[in-house]
Amino acid sequence: MSNKDIVLYTEEKGIAKITLNRPEVLNALNRDVLEQLSSIMDRIKIDDSVKAVILTGAGEKAFSAGADIQFLNKATPLEVRDLARLAVTVNNKIESLGKVVVAAINGLALGGGLELAESCTLRFSASHARLGHPEVRIGAIAGFGGTTRLPRLIGKGRAVELLLTGNSISADEAYRIGLVNRIVEPDKLLSEAETLILEILSQAPLAVKMTWEAIHRGCNLTLEESSLLGADYFGLIASTEDFREGTKSFLEKTKPSFKVR
């Protein structure tokens, strides 16, 4: 398999589908995969024709089993750090893309693979999937952003247990603790993700974008600062034509026609 085939990209109806394509190694993340993901995210960010993204893995066994262990075993500390920093950059790009990104977790999501999913806007899990952070079991830590994002997603207590034990959990447990948004049968995973994306895209686009920005930025602030940020965004969105159209349509009981301006 050539390097150009390790991350697949298609686009239909304004939805980009990105597929990690190393099923022979459970879609493990190496530098080539991460560099391609980084480049793809750069393109999508400035491509107005792409409205949303589905990120998934090839095959039925894994979304991604995490960082390439063969590389980690032979790499120098500086090479490991560089890989982790690249992964952090990719995950930050996904989280700040300004467009909805749904992780369609089609199997194992472990270590760096789960960290990739944690950076997405939403997570859909196949019913047979297992998720976890086994890094401590190989003498490592969740260095691709897991120690930061997981506590924010499921709370410090639950995150500490997963990160310190290295245990993996079922899709049902992941749903119970809020790590995934929905559990879907494997053959419906992508279609269900697309259905939700289309529902989100039917809303006022600028309002969706600013809502996510307020959530994303607000998570790093105090409660008061985050609340004030939300108020500022509310005032900002009121300057748009879509805000006037939406409120007018509500009062007139008509369907709004948003212009994204």
Q: Find the radius of gyration of the CA atoms of the chain.
A: 19
Strand partners, 56: 19, 104
Query: Which of these is catalytic: 24, 79, 95, 115?
Result: 115
Query: Which of these is catalytic: 24, 60, 118, 135?
Result: 135
Residue 163 · residue 146 · CB < 8 Å: yes
Is residue 118 annotated as part of the catalytic site, yes or no?
A: no
Is residue 224 annotated as part of the catalytic site, yes or no?
A: no
Instruction: Enumerate the active-site residues.
Output: 115, 135
